[in-house]
Amino acid sequence: MSGWLRDLALGARLAISGGRGAWVRTAMTAVGVGLGVALLLLAASFPTAIAARDDRTSARDDYRFGVPEVRRGPASLLIADAPTVFRGVDVRGRLVQPEGPDAPLPPGLDRLPRAGEVVVSPRLQELLDRPDAALLRPRIPGRVVGTIGDAGLEGPVEAAYYAGAADLSVESGARRIDRFGSVQPDEGLDPVLAFLVVVAVVVLLLPVAVFVAAAARFGGEARDRRLAALRLVGADRRGVRRIAAGESLVGALGGLLVGAVVFGLATRVVPELPVASLSLFASDVRPALPLALLVLLAVPAVAVVVTQIALTRVAIDPLGVVRRGATRSRRLAWRLALPVVGLLLLVPLLGVDLTQGEGFNPVLTSAGVVLLLVGVTALLPWLVEALVDRLDGRGGVAWQLAVRRLQLDRGASARTVSGIAVAVAGAIALTSLFGAVEDDRAVATGADLEAAQAQVYYTVRPGRDDAAQLDRRLAAVPGVRSVLAWSEASITEAAHPDRSAFLTVASCSTLRRLARIRSCQDGDAFVTPEGPAPGASVRIAETGPWRVPADARRVVSDPKPSGGDTTGVLATPSAAADLTSVGATYADVALDARNPDHLEGLRNAAAAVTPLAVAQELQSTRDDRDLAAVRRAVYAGAVAVLALIAASMVVAALEGLHERRRLLASLVAFGTPPRTLGRSLLLQTAVPVALGLVLAIGVGLGLGALLLRIVGSPVRFDVVPILGIAAVGAAVVPVVTALTVPALRRIVRPDGLRTE
Amino acid sequence: MSAPLLRAEGLHKAFGSTAALHDASFAIDAGEVVAVMGPSGSGKSTLLHCLAGIAVPDQGRVLYGDVDLGAASDAKRSALRRTDFGFVFQFGQLVPELTAVENVALPLRLNGVARRPAEATATEWLDRLEVGDVARKTPGNISGGQGQRVAVARALATRPRVLFADEPTGALDSLNGERVMELLTEAARETSAAVVLVTHEARVAAYSDREVVVRDGRTRSPELTR
For residue A370, the distance in angstroms to the closest alpha carbon of chain B comes to 35
For residue range A144-200, what is the model confidence (pLDDT) as tens digits? 999 999 999 999 989 999 999 998 988 777 899 999 998 666 556 666 666 667 777
Nearest-angstrom CA–CA distance, B129 and B124: 9
Which value, to the nearest 10 degrees, does the dihedral of the CA atoms of residues A134, A135, A136, A141 take?
70
For residue range A668-726, what is the model confidence (pLDDT) as tens digits? 887 888 888 888 888 888 888 888 888 888 888 988 888 888 877 788 888 887 888 88
The three-state DSSP-derived secondary structure of A527-579 is ECCCCCCCCCEEEECCCEEEECCCCCEECCECECCCCCECCEEEECHHHHCCC
pLDDT number for residue A692: 85
Q: Which residues of B touch A (CB under 8 A)?
A: 15, 40-41, 44-45, 49, 52, 54-55, 78-83, 85-87, 89-91, 93, 95-98, 102, 106-107, 109-111, 115, 138, 154-155, 166-167, 170
* CB-CB under 8 Å, A676 with B45: no
Ramachandran quadrant class, A24 (left: phi over 0; alpha: psi -120 to 50; beta: rest): alpha
Q: What residue ranges in B40-148 does DSSP mark as E strands?
A: 59-64, 67-68, 85-88
For residue A745, the distance in angstroms to the closest alpha carbon of chain B comes to 12
Nearest-angstrom CA–CA distance, B187 and B128: 9
pLDDT number for residue B177: 86
pLDDT number for residue B33: 93
Nearest-angstrom CA–CA distance, A26 and A3: 24
The string of DSSP letters for A19-37 reads HHHHHHHHHHHHHHHHHHH
Give the residues of chain A that fall short of pLDDT 70. Answer: 1, 18-19, 21, 183-196, 215-222, 225, 228-235, 271-278, 313-330, 351-360, 410-413, 415-416, 440-442, 460-465, 622-630, 632-633, 749-756
Q: Is B62 exposed, middle or buried (0-12, 13-18, 19+ CB in 10 A)?
A: buried
For residue B75, the distance in angstroms to the closest alpha carbon of chain A comes to 8
pLDDT number for residue A97: 96
Q: Which residues of A touch B (CB under 8 A)?
A: 393-394, 397, 400-401, 404-405, 407-409, 662-663, 666-673, 676, 750-751, 753-756
* CB-CB under 8 Å, B78 with A668: yes
Residues of A in contact with B114 (CB under 8 A): none
3-state SS class at A647: helix
User: 0.80 exceeded by the pTM?
Assistant: no
* CB-CB under 8 Å, B106 with A669: no
What mean pLDDT, rounded, does chain A reach?
82
pLDDT number for residue A194: 67
Residues of B in contact with A405 (CB under 8 A): 97
Nearest-angstrom CA–CA distance, A499 and A198: 43
pLDDT number for residue A166: 93
* Res. B28: pLDDT tops 90: yes
Written as one letter, the residue type at A387 is: L
Nearest-angstrom CA–CA distance, B5 and B27: 8
What mean pLDDT is predicted for residues B61-87? 88
pLDDT number for residue A462: 53
* Nearest residue of chain B to residue A392 (CA atoms): B98
pLDDT number for residue B225: 37
* CB-CB under 8 Å, B138 with A753: no
Closest by CA position to A29, among listed A247, A194, A315, A339:
A247
For residue A401, the distance in angstroms to the closest alpha carbon of chain B comes to 7
* CB-CB under 8 Å, A750 with B79: no
Residues of A in contact with B166 (CB under 8 A): 753, 755
Q: What residue ranges in A285-442 does DSSP mark as E strands?
A: 314-317, 320-323
Confidence grade of residue B222 (pLDDT, cut at 50, 70, 90): low
* CB-CB under 8 Å, A401 with B97: yes
* Res. B190: pLDDT tops 60: yes
**Please, what's the b/e burial string for A279-289 (b: 16 or more CB within 10 A of its CB; e: otherwise)?**
bbbeebbebee
* Nearest residue of chain A to residue B83 (CA atoms): A671
pLDDT number for residue A416: 67
pLDDT number for residue B223: 43
* CB-CB under 8 Å, B54 with A756: no
ipTM above 0.85, yes or no: no
**Please, what's the b/e burial string for A121-144 (b: 16 or more CB within 10 A of its CB; e: otherwise)?**
bbbbeebbeeeeeebbeebbbbeb
Residues of A in contact with B138 (CB under 8 A): 408
Q: Is B109 exposed, middle or buried (0-12, 13-18, 19+ CB in 10 A)?
A: buried
Best mutation target, A388, A684, A753, A754, to test chain B (most B CBs within 10 A): A753
* CB-CB under 8 Å, B91 with A755: yes
pLDDT number for residue A17: 73
Nearest-angstrom CA–CA distance, A644 and A736: 12
Nearest-angstrom CA–CA distance, A436 and A419: 26
pLDDT number for residue B217: 85
pLDDT number for residue A429: 84
Residues of A in contact with B41 (CB under 8 A): 756
* CB-CB under 8 Å, B49 with A670: no
Closest by CA position to B4, among listed B33, B36, B28, B31:
B28
Nearest-angstrom CA–CA distance, B167 and B165: 6
For residue A18, the distance in angstroms to the closest alpha carbon of chain B comes to 20
Domains and CATH numbers, chain B: 1-84+160-226 (3.40.50.300), 96-159 (no CATH)
